[in-house]
């Protein structure tokens, strides 16, 4: 689009210069040239408006497609849900998290992140999710096993006891890529809010952060982050405070 707009601007510029030069040449109708220049300007403005209107239409269509896709995801999520110890897996929470990640803006990415996998021992994963929820963090999975939402729900339903904990479970491969996570569990405490890029093939620029990899508890990871006074110390201190309030 910019190429066409620049071409139109160039035509207007040439027409304007021609009009100026024509004033010193006998036999040239200066007024006709000025009129033609005005017509060219009007044509250029009409072209710009047409392109803008088409762009608005495309954006509206894209938004409708996105809404339809999310609605379809919700319908699939609610159909034939497996049950865990606490009843049906609350996919509404997980879908809401996915929707939030898909439209996230500056400052919406989590600051205390625990990267996990369903390949971890169920008892360890259960404790991990529960403690991370108490700390106010998010447990993130790379994606659905075998691209199956039902398989993911079945496995998670056998692990999560508290329905409220589903609000602290997310699925986002962009976070794995942003922090180059190759092993789980990995704990990350970020120094400040940051912008999680919208695309699933883009690379997020993350602020300074603390990182720990290994089979340690959520509390231990937070304590070490706070103790070392690194980039994520403030977030770690808040997480520890949240855990103390949840376990009086």
For the chain, the average pLDDT equals: 73
DSSP 136: T
Spatial distance between the Cα atoms of 65 and 235, rounded to a whole number of angstroms: 37
Give pTM, 2 decimals. 0.60
Q: What is the DSSP letter of 165?
A: G
- The percent of residues in the chain predicted with pLDDT above 90, rounded, is 44
Select from 174, 191, 197, 200 the least CA-distant residue to 115: 174
26-30, 79-83, 209-213, range with the lowest pLDDT: 79-83
* pLDDT reading at 51 higher than 60: no
What is the total residue count of the chain? 248
Q: How far is 38 from 33, CA to CA, in rounded Å?
A: 9
Residue with tokens 């110390």, as numbered in its chain: 233
């Amino acid at each position: 689009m910019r190429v066409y707009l620049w071409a139109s601007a160039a035509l207007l510029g040439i027409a304007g210069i021609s009009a100026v030069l024509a004033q010193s040449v006998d036999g040239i109708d200066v007024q006709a040239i000025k009129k033609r220049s005005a017509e060219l300007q009007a044509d250029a403005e009409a072209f710009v408006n047409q392109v803008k209107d088409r762009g608005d239409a495309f954006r509206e269509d894209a938004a409708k497609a996105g809404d339809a896709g999310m609605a379809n995801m919700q319908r699939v999520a609610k159909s034939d849900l497996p049950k865990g110890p606490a009843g049906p897996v609350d996919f509404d929470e997980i879908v809401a998290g996915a929707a939030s990640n898909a439209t996230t803006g500056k400052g919406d990415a989590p600051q205390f992140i625990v990267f996990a996998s369903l390949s971890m021992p169920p008892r360890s994963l259960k404790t991990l999710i529960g403690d991370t929820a108490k700390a106010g963090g998010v447990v993130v999975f790379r994606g659905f096993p075998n691209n199956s939402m039902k398989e993911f729900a079945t496995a998670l339903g056998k692990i999560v006891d508290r329905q409220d904990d589903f609000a602290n479970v997310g699925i986002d491969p962009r976070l794995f890529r942003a922090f180059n996570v190759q092993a789980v569990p990995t704990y990350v405490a970020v120094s400040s809010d940051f912008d999680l890029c919208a695309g699933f093939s883009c690379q997020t620029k993350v602020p300074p952060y603390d990182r720990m990899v290994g089979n340690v508890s959520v509390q231990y990871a937070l304590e070490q982050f706070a103790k070392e006074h690194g980039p994520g110390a403030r977030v770690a201190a808040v997480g520890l405070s949240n855990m103390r309030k949840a376990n009086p």
